[in-house]
Amino acid sequence: MDKSTLNIIRNGTSETATEHQEREFLSLFHFSEKEFELKTYLLNELEHAEVKEENKHFYDELFERWWKNRKLEISVNRQKNNLVIRLTQLVAVLITGLLLGFYLYSVNKNSSPVYYTSIAPKGSVSEMLLPDGSQIFLNSGSKIKYSVDGTGGEREVFLSGEAWFHVAKMKEKPFLVHTSYYDVQVTGTSFNVKAYSDDREVTTTLEEGTVYIRSTKNLKLAKETVLKPGEQLVYDKKSKYIQINEVNTKWVSSWKDNKLIFVNMSLKDLKTLLERKYGVDIEITNQDILDYHYDGTLKNETILEVLDILKNTLPIKYQIVGQKVIIHKK
């Protein structure tokens, strides 16, 4: 390993590292030619490091989730050399996650909070595991910026789009989700937040635990709102009205399991949903059909299969021009 790279690693992982030094260190993971040396060095450091007893659960949980998600990918019928190659690749992924978790979670730093960004492009759903053990699913076209040690010492997430959270319980360290209109604070909870900038509504749906809806500079609430499991808070950006409904939470978060369930959804809203899920552009030529409503469930259907279902159910037809889907009234 060359001297300059070694200095970047040592500076970026020291207890006195600046934000710039940390970012410079993390950027090394984007260079494939440095990957092997970097992982070897960090693995050696990890082997000689003392892991605090209270942090060990994180590594156990990370390994269990990784192995559960990956073990079915390994076929017993593969040739031995292919199996070894695949296992080596998977172990490399695990090591990277463990090492990053170790340095982000176990090292106590006195510098200002460091934020990391994760994006789910249109047409995809991303899953991530934070260093504290919290699990997040990001829906298509969504983005989060997060820190495990935010400005007030809390775990902090800034959300644009939609995300499902399963937050690891840490009573002494709250978990705070910022949207453009209100904040959601929890200590250990499962919930869904939908906050796309181009949607009329911002919603928070609670599956288990407790969430507290709090004011921000963009929305002053008369009082803090507490949700119970099965409740959904809906904020209408246009009317500035807040409503709390009882909902089927599994329907709301079904997208994270690659399934969409919708009831009495207008074609206007369905258009937005399909554009996000499949990463396509849809143009509707007749505005009067935007108020058509539809019930349905989508799981593994392609966009063409979905369009055929709609065509056979609603008085519409479609054509594909280049990369765009154009829907007409029959």
For the stretch 262-310, pLDDT in tens is 888 999 999 999 999 888 999 999 988 888 888 888 888 899 999 998 8
C-beta separation of 6 from 24 below 8 A: no
At 30, the amino acid letter reads H
Identify the band that residue 107 occupies on the pLDDT scale cut at 50, 70 and 90: very low
For residue 205, the model assigns a pLDDT of: 97
Does the structure show a pLDDT above 50 at 191? yes
Q: Which two tokens stand for residue 84?
A: 């070894």
User: How many residues does the structure list for the chain?
Assistant: 330
3-state secondary structure of 59: helix
Does the structure show a pLDDT above 80 at 233? yes
Predicted TM-score (pTM) of the model is 0.66
Q: How many CA atoms lie within 13 A of 78 on its CB side?
A: 12
Q: Which two tokens stand for residue 101?
A: 């978790």
Identify the band that residue 149 occupies on the pLDDT scale cut at 50, 70 and 90: confident
